[in-house]
Amino acid sequence: MLIRLDYADGSQRLVDVDTQMAVRNWDANGNFWVPIQQEASALTAIDVVVERPQSQAVFQRATLSGFGEASARNYSRIMLYMLICGTLLVPIVYDLLFFRVLRARFLFWHLAMTAGTLLYVLFNSGLIIVVMPEIPNLLRYAGIFVAMSLTILGLVKFSLQVLEENLASRRLRRVLEWSALANLLFAILIAFDIEFLRIRVIDLYLLSVLPLLAGMVVVLASALLRQSRAAAFLTAACSGLIIAGTAQVFASLGLFGMAELIDEAIYVALVILVVGTSAGVGDRFLIIKGERDRARLTAKKLGAMANSDGMTGLLNRRAFDQNRRLSAGHALLLCDIDRFKSINDTYGHQRGDAVLCHAARAIEGVIAARGDGQVFRVGGEEFAVLFKAATPADMRAFAEAVRAAIEVSADAASAYDMPDITISIGGVLGEGQLMHVAFADADGALYRAKEGGRNRCEFAEL
């Protein structure tokens, strides 16, 4: 860029503005300033020649101001933009922490939207020069558009995924997604600085924003009419950006004058967008977490039902078969109610069911008194008990306690018309053998107990 200064006495002065001056004299609104030296004679005219301008805004945004006024405004803006950048870092951390817990795609797109917003503030405000002093002007300029396109793409994808299903038609979803991708493509073309597209691509970029904004209005309005909870958060978050973005597009297309107020409104709208959608992320996270917790509870209940005997409430054969080995220091008892078929035939099946439940409670009472062990119903009137037993004597003592508990409890329940019941028990001590081998040994011992007169305990020889 070349500037010619004309003074009242007819003298002229040329100022050659190179890349180093643009970096050295950057302004906190994405612009840069050129010092105009005061001469004895009054300044009468300023002529500016810009080599290969990127857009009309280069001329529309040029202003004259005093050094003191400009310095004060520049300082206050730097502080404001740094505060905005710090504010935007919080939702990024927020998203990363949530993403560790819930790998949902809407969290990824919210993170992309927030990161794009942060990059936009860095590039558009000029703060990127502090971080990267050697960044080329073209890259910094194109970065503004690419960052905004990433923000828009993230917003569209986030909105479509966080809204409840069927609130946006498939056609409208495709229009929004393809428009966002086209907008990003135009932003990338700006970075390539293609000569015949140099001015036109900016207009194409701006025009591609309009269907996106219109589509978002349609989606949010439709979702609000259906009383969508997520749409309420999105509408509050997006309204400012839709209004300010539309004004910015029309102003950049020359429909009305550019105003700094629009620039500042964009920053405010972006902060509201990120903070508002972060509240929506938290709400959506709690809803999904609640749904998953309920699903896990249901799965746990179904699993418990699948592993439980419906009548006695004990663990069933399915649960017992999950034990692959009978480890050392443990023992297995197989307990079978004596003459149970006769009880069913004499007293009826309801009384037989009561006998099974009574025996289950008696065995559970022995386990509770001992402090460890599990009891399973593995057949019609057959129960299995797994418990800790370091020695054969421990196993025998526990088996005898179970046998005696059944016999005594039947006597105590005689007032409730409970038939006399006894139980035969076969046991085996664990040595790390496969459970089906231990089961066969205990079953053989149970058979001997039945053959030996019932109401007794027998044990497998090891």
Structure tokens at 188: 């990338």
Give the per-residue pLDDT at 66: 66
Q: Are strands 12-16 and 374-377 parallel, antiparallel or unpaired?
A: unpaired
Whole-number Å distance between alpha carbons of 247 and 268: 14
Residue 340 and residue 380 in contact, taking contact as beta carbons nearer than 8 Å: yes
129 or 353: which carries more pLDDT confidence? 353
Is the pLDDT reported for residue 5 higher than 90?
no
In the three-class reduction of DSSP (H, G, I as helix; E, B as strand; rest coil), residue 406 is classed as helix
pLDDT in tens, 24-78: 666 666 666 677 777 777 888 888 887 766 666 666 666 777 666 667 777 777 8
Considering the candidates 69, 177, 381, 400, report the single residue annotated as catalytic.
381
Q: Give, to the nearest 10 degrees, the angle between helix 137-162 and helix 200-225.
A: 20
Give the least confident one: 81-85, 230-234, 254-258, 429-433. Answer: 254-258
Q: Are strands 2-7 and 43-49 parallel, antiparallel or unpaired?
A: antiparallel
CA atoms within 13 A on the CB side of 185: 9
Backbone angles phi, psi at 13, to 5 degrees: -140, 135
The CA-to-CA distance between both ends of the chain, in Å, stands at 100
In the three-class reduction of DSSP (H, G, I as helix; E, B as strand; rest coil), residue 379 is classed as coil
pLDDT in tens, 355-369: 999 999 999 999 999
Tell me the average pLDDT across 423-438.
94
**Other C-beta atoms within 10 Å of 305: how many?**
10
Is the pLDDT reported for residue 324 higher than 70?
yes
330 or 136: which carries more pLDDT confidence? 330
76 or 327: which carries more pLDDT confidence? 327
Whole-number Å distance between alpha carbons of 15 and 376: 95
Give the per-residue pLDDT at 148: 94
Whole-number Å distance between alpha carbons of 351 and 337: 14
In the three-class reduction of DSSP (H, G, I as helix; E, B as strand; rest coil), residue 126 is classed as coil
Length of the chain: 462
Tell me the average pLDDT across 155-183.
87
> Is 451 labeled as catalytic in the residue annotation?
no
Give the per-residue pLDDT at 249: 85
Residue where the block lists tokens 């053959």: 451
Give the per-residue pLDDT at 427: 95
pLDDT in tens, 278-297: 888 877 777 777 878 888 88
pLDDT in tens, 210-261: 999 999 999 899 888 888 888 888 899 999 999 988 888 888 777 776 666 7
Backbone angles phi, psi at 63, to 5 degrees: -140, 160
Give the per-residue pLDDT at 54: 64
Give the per-residue pLDDT at 415: 44
Structure tokens at 402: 């179970």
Whole-number Å distance between alpha carbons of 360 and 316: 12
Whole-number Å distance between alpha carbons of 283 and 279: 6
Is the pLDDT reported for residue 171 higher than 90?
no
Tell me the average pLDDT across 265-272.
90
Tell me the average pLDDT across 379-401.
93
Q: What percent of the chain has pLDDT over 70?
A: 89
pLDDT in tens, 193-203: 887 777 788 88
Mean pLDDT score of the chain, rounded to an integer?
85
